[in-house]
Structures are given as C-alpha cells and as structure tokens.
Structure 1
C-alpha cells in the first residue's frame, strides 16, 4: 500500500462509537459477522463500538464502507463558491431542497431500522448514508416463528416512519469553550434534574448528580465538545451517579422524598421506584425521552435483546401497578408528559459550576502533590540516616519462667549421702551366719 493510499484511508471519518453500534444493528449484523468480514476478532469489534480503539488504514476504510458512512470525497476541499452562486441564494436553497435519490435497502435491513412503538418520537438517529461497495455480508432471510422482543415492542399497524430530528442546542460558530459549556448547561441542566428525580425520587440527589456530571463534562470538555450528542454524554454520567448503590449508605439519601400530592403522579412515581434501577432507566429512556432501542441499549450498556426484555418487563409491572397505563401508548404519553414538564429546581449558574469544578480539581491536585512530596522527603531522610551496617547487641541475662524440671535422678540430700557412705564402708551388714566363712 502506497503512502498516499494509506493517508487517504486514515483520513476516513468514522461515526461515534454509539453510532457504530446503532448502524450495525440497523443493518441486522452481529458482532461475529462484522469480525469475520473485517478479519478481526469479536473483542476488537466490541472495542471499536465502545470507543476503546478504532480501526486504521484499510480496515478503517472497509469498516466505514460496511457501516455505510464512507465518503470517497471526504478528504477533498469543498468547491469554492462562485460569484453567480453567491448572488443567487434562492437558487442554491431550491437545489438543496430537491430530494436526492438513495439506493433501496434490503427488506431485512429496512425492518430492523426502527422498532419504536410510537408515531412521533422526540429523538431518532440519522439515517445512514448511501453505502459504497463493502465486504459481502448477507444478513440472511427473515426468520419465521414467534416474534422477537423487539417486534413485540411495536404495536400492530404502526408504520416505520422516520421521526423528526432531536432538539439540540444551537451550534453558534465562534464560541469560546466557556460560552459553549454555558449554553449546554442552560439547555440541558434543568431537564436533567427533573429526569434524575424521576429515576431516584430524591430532589437533592438529582441536583447533586447533574452538577457532578457537568463537572466531569468540563474536565473532559475537548471530548464532550466533539461528541455527536453532548447532552447524551452528560445524561449518561448523571444517571450513573444517581443510580449508584453507594448512596444508600448516606443518611441524607437513604430514603426517598415525600411523594407528590397528585394521585396519578404519586402512583406512577411509586411504581417506577419499585422497579430495579436498570429497568427504571430503560423505560425512562425509551418511553420517556424517545430513544430507540439500539440507543437505549448502548446507553445502558446492555445488548439490544436484553434492553427489549427489560422494557417489556417494566411495562408489565407498571401496567399491573397502574392499570390505566397497561397500554404502551398510554405509558409513553404519561412519561413523555412527565419528562417535558417545566422543571422547578433552582440550579447554580454555569460559571459557578465551572469554577467550583476547577477549584476542586486544583485542590485535589495540590493535595496529591503535597502527599507525594512528603513521602519523597520521608523516604530520602530515612535513606540518609540509616546505618550502613548493624552490630549485634549482647542482651543481659533474664529470668525465664515456665521451663520444665530437668529429668533424671534428683540431687542427693545430706541424709542420702550419709547412708551411701555407710553402705560403701560396710559391704556385709547383717547376722554372722549369713557371712560366708573363709577357708
């Protein structure tokens, strides 16, 4: 491979890791099929979809072709606008509004694009661009048999209509990082506090979770600023912090706040809090925020079938606890109305969040540097004052108790010594008749 070919392959732009997984599942491909087509292992494909690594060289170009996002002219400069085009903006706008022809996708792929049980969702992924020639992977014929969990989530008679684009903060060119962060905070923070309260039932914990998420977003702002969905990045961090089991050990967050006074809201919030955290988060993302099933599975770090089963179980439990929400459409309308309510929480200003996060980072950095310096000083002092050799010390004698008595014959007393001398001096005691006569 020549150097120019390698440079062009390395300049291919790939979608975000979450979008890679969504495109693969939209094409009805498994990780094993992608790994076999790319000539890599399943673990490598998983690392590409989680953002731990990215393909390079020709594999990068082949991976983009497989996902349908490859653009051969991506590395070229855009054409210079002529004077005639600059003087006729109406003509340019009319040309841009003309529908472009897109290749028809296979039926198996078209059926796997959208599985949402709603007519109008608040958020939807962008459709993949026209795929270029890619490695041949056949998704296989449509399976016959009982419907899958994804198919059961979709009510009968619902058409696969493309939902509108999600609402995002307006991108204004020329903003500084501080201004962009402040715009994201003003756009997403109040709604995230309300959503986190629906997840936890604790108002104080919801505000703390959102502030924690924006602190981390500011610390990693170069990564968040180029993310395709910065609101989703902050939302995932806030949800993870809010649903952490360690909060049960804190007295302030041990019990939920008092439920609302309205009967319908109280019943729904109580039923939500009785669900496991993973099921609660899945039903809020899918039926409340309007994410599709692959995006919900990616944000909850679960497979698509697992997310579908969680959603079905959560709907069943909520339908039993609140009978009027037994239908998926009724539950979707109620959760959407709850999520889109005007938040009432009072949050600190964006500048306060930024400065407090920076102050905390500086404090921890100084503390770590101080402890490290102390450890280095103590280690150096010990190394300088330690003796080069050791002299054994003769310890003074001490009385040792508990030693057993020495075995063998005991020491003779004076009476015993006297008796022994007598026996030795008179070898033949007793009557004379017992003494043998000498001849």
Structure 2
C-alpha cells in the first residue's frame, strides 16, 4: 500500500503555492520551556507573569494531545489562539510519500520548508512494528558526511542538520498517522499509557550522524523523554553513532539515553574501509569511550551494530576478533543482514553463515539477536525512498520546487 503526492492535481498545486507564499512563522515545537516562555513574552502576546502557566498549557496540547493547530487548544481563549496563530507555527511537515510494507513496516518521506536562503529538504522516517513494541527510526541530518561504503545514505551529500523541531516533527507526525495521540473524546487530563502506545521506542538511526548535530538532537530527545509530554523512557530511546568519540561521553552525561555503536568490523583496516570515520577515531579510542560511557551496566548495555556482509566481515575469525575487542563491556551485538540497495557492490551473508556467527557470539556470553529484515518491498534501507523521490521527472521536480520556494526570494 503506497500513498504518493500527485503534484499534477490542481488543488494540490494551489495548496503548495499558498503554503510557499505565506511568510514563515517561528515554530513552538522543539523549544525548551524557557525558550517558549521567552518567545511568547517577546511577541507581546503573553505577559511575563503568565508565561509559565501558558507554557504549561501549550506543552500539554503539543506533546500530550498532539494537536497541530492552535484552534484545537480549547482551554485557551479565542483571542489568544488567534494571536498565537499570527506569530507562531505548530504545523506538521508535508508528507511527500507514505509506504506500507507487507510486513507492517511504514516509511515516510517528509518535506520541510526552506530555511533562510536554503531550499525545501526531504528526509525519511521508518516505523517498525514488532510484538510488544513499535520502534520509530528517526533522521538527524539531510544526507550525511560519513560515506560508509555499505550505507545508501552515504551516497547522498550532506545538505544540512535538522533542527530540534524537525527531529521531533518526525515523531509527532508518525504518532498522528498511527493514531497514537488521544482522540477528541479522551478527557483533557488523560495521558496515553505507555503500554498502549504504538510508538514505544525511538532510535536515532535514520539519515545522518546524530553526534554531528549534537545540540539539536539533545534538545529533541530531552523533550521526547519529558515526563509531562511525550514521556518516552530514556531506556526506550537509543542513539546510534558511527563513532564520534568526543561526543559519546556527553551523550550519556547530558542526554542519558541508550547508546548504540555502528561498528561492523573488529579491526582498523576493515573498519577504515566500511566506516571511514574510523580513520579519525580508531577502534582503540572508540572502545575506550564506550567503557567510560556514563551509566554503563548490565542493565544499560551498549548495543554494537554489525551488518553482515558476505565474504567481507562474516567469518568465524571475525567473530572471534569481535568478542576479543568487546571483552569486559556490558554489550549486546545486533547482527544485521545487509539490506541491498541499487548500485551497491555488497551482498548479504548467507543465512547459515549468519547463524554460525551468532552462535559463536552467544556461546561467548553476548546476546546476539539477528535483526529480521524489514520493509524490503518498500525500499526501507535508509536513504532509498529519498533517492527514489529524486528520480521524479525533471519537469515535475522543477514545477514542485518553483511552488515551494515561491515567496522565499530564491531564483
């Protein structure tokens, strides 16, 4: 099942042109409480003595009720709602495409409006339903600088970092689409129980390197885990890094979420090829940073991600070296069957090879689940849907871009 935006439809063209022509308003989504209070007072619509109370109201509507229009904030006066709408935005991003796999995996291509002198950008978000949980894979950048040789996003140049608003918008929009916010008949004080959520976990494993966008990722995740709003447990939030060593300790100290390392090799020579950031931060430095991760324990293990590439990193010798490398670190090793994408030179390891690799690691005392391949029928490898979107006919792309950038002063 696939939803696609039809830009040839006259109503769609008119809506896009109207949106593009409208002046861009500052968003309240992604602001801390202090920043939100400051913005309300600076706009002259809330006196300083009321700012804290108004922020509490807005926080509830944005992150508990999940509204995307000020008109839906029913315990706020009509005049104040009008003033808020004149100065600020809380709208969701445009859904360019939504795909639903036969296995229930969902993938969205979101478009965010131009910022400053830039152009509109597109990013991907993936939802993976499993028994007892639902995981949302969130992007942190448009494109990536790391050029990991097996990763499709690595073929796309970095355009820019996402803002805290844009990171959170992925979670908010996914919950909208999944019916994961209270409906209008739910009492205003109710909070959806944790065990009733479709999005119970989030992972920063989408497009980009989260630790190269540390401040925005930090702000978004602190809001996502705020107990009076989205209220996701920090133990249900995992940040995955390819190994930006200087920011790893800060992640544990300042954000406090679970850590995953995109490892994929147990020696520097191979990791230099697969994950080129290893040339800057080699395995010795990376593993040392992992050993010092704040809160590390058997209850808060680090996940090491290891993509299984046929005849590249999947031998029993590789498994032995991996166990030796991680000795003494409370860890789980996620084995990921390679999800092929058009143009790659890599192949997925044979299933028998993956199982032997997993058995060796299990026998050495490490949990080594094999990730079930998901969403292959909807190009669910990171970056694929965005690339597919970029293959639209040139005339369609030019028409769409013209409508989206009209009114932003771009040629």
Where relative contact order (Cα < 8 A, 6+ residues apart) is larger, the structure is: 2
Q: TM-score range by the shorter chain?
A: under 0.3
Give the TM-score of the pair, scaled to structure 1: 0.25
Give the TM-score of the pair, scaled to structure 2: 0.27
**Per residue, is there more helix in 1 or in 2?**
1
